[in-house]
Amino acid sequence: SILHVHSSQHTYPIIIEPGCRKRTFAFIDQYITRKPTKYLIITDDNVAPLYLEDVVHSFPSSETVETYVVPSGEQSKSFKQYEETVTAALKYRLDRRSLIIALGGGVVGDLAGFVAASYMRGIPFIQIPTTLLAHDSSVGGKVGINHSLGKNMVGAFHQPSLVLYDPEALLSLPEREWRSGFAEVIKHGFIADKDLLEWLVTHVTSFQEWDMDILSEMLYRSIQVKANIVQEDEKEQGVRAFLNFGHTLGHAIEAEAGYGAITHGEAVAIGIVYALRLSEKCFEVNLQSAPYLEKLKSLGYQLDIPKQLSADGLLERMSVDKKAYNQVIRFVLLKAIGKPVVQGMSGTVLLDELKREVK
Ligand code: NAD
Ligand code: ZN
């Protein structure tokens, strides 16, 4: 199946099709109007042995295809790795009409996308996402790297020219990476698509066994939510904030636990549960979310805030400065499933609720 995303830069297709990585060149030929002079595939050292050959072999021998492999992991979203990647692009003599191909998860997508955004003031790139989480990161055009003072602090909006999503390529993902990415699927359901949540409850039973049709449909529906939101608000001035549902506490848990101790999605799942509870309290509603939370538990999510984290520490992380108690923190809450709002919450209320959770 195919989705089209509109942006101020251009409209680009997202193809979701088992085996499409093996026909990368054919898709580029079909969808990219200006023929690239050469290609640079950027990937990481976990993905390279699994799928790099498939992509390279899709090109006829008349094309110039270079490859560049970075170490796997968040550390590759660094100034140093950025510089080394640009150096490779220069050595391979990429010009303004060359195409960068990001083959991998969110780390490769963010790094390669930022290289594309800045190399010679910007050259085109495409995404071939290989993680579930990358259904979120490959759509919307945010690219960037980390600074020692904060994640994603340097970057750009640079839309891909094409996204080639091959569900087959996800089958090698470890269980934890499934869990990390699936939290964003659940999030998309909560903020915009109750039917998706109900569909997930019946159709997703384990991360070990996937039916290709189910996996493809899940990617399609979840990407559709993200695509609709970023189309409406490309530069994050309004509704794009709803994508932060579950992330205010989620980011705080990730940081407080120490990055890597808990995955992004595992932390976001806990953040979602907390935001649901706050929503019910704040708007005096019953969101009837029990079946969805049961599903998360059955898929191996731990939904309580880890005991070793302190409520005060988390509150401090959630606020921009240290006077968290008197401060109003902007939170994405739900008035109903599919009806998100941004609500200022007082630090005191948040802390009370946190203390109920972490004893
Ligand atoms: P990742 O790219 O590090 O991938 C996770 C791990 O899985 C890595 O070890 C990777 O080598 C491995 N891997 C990738 N594909 C595989 C496969 N098919 N089989 C086996 N192993 C595979 O991380 P991620 O979770 O995909 O993405 C996280 C990053 O995405 C973060 O840096 C985050 O900031 C970023 N992100 C960006 C956006 C955005 O809008 N740009 C949105 C959300 C997250
Ligand atoms: Zn996220």
CA distance 54 to 20: 10
Residue 337, classed as helix, strand or coil, is coil
Sign for the CA dihedral angle at 84, 31, 129, 122 comes to: positive
CA distances from 168 to 119, 244, 256 (A): 31, 29, 35
Length of the chain counted residue by residue? 359
Strands 11-16 and 39-44: unpaired
Predicted confidence band at 175 (pLDDT cuts at 50, 70, 90)?
very high
Tokens of residue 158, six digits: 């640079």
Q: Atom 33, ligand 1: which residue's CA is nearest?
A: 106
Q: Which structural domains are found in the chain, ordered by start?
A: 2-170 (3.40.50.1970), 175-357 (1.20.1090.10)
Tokens of residue 143, six digits: 């690219």
Q: Whose CA is closest to 242, among 343, 358, 115?
A: 343
Task: Determine whether the annotation assigns residue 72 to a binding site.
Answer: yes
Cβ atoms of 95 and 37 within 8 Å: the answer is yes
Q: Is 61 exposed, middle or buried (0-12, 13-18, 19+ CB in 10 A)?
A: exposed
pLDDT tens-digit readout, 296-353: 999 999 999 999 999 999 998 988 666 666 778 889 999 999 999 999 988 888 888 8
Tokens of residue 354, six digits: 């946190």
Q: Atom 29, ligand 1: which residue's CA is nearest?
A: 106
244 is catalytic: yes
Average pLDDT of the residues in 205-231? 96
pLDDT tens-digit readout, 224-255: 999 999 998 888 878 899 999 999 999 999 99
Q: Is 21 exposed, middle or buried (0-12, 13-18, 19+ CB in 10 A)?
A: buried
* Pocket flag, ligand 1, residue 152 (CB < 6 Å): yes
Q: Enter the ipTM.
A: 0.99
CA distance 140 to 99: 19
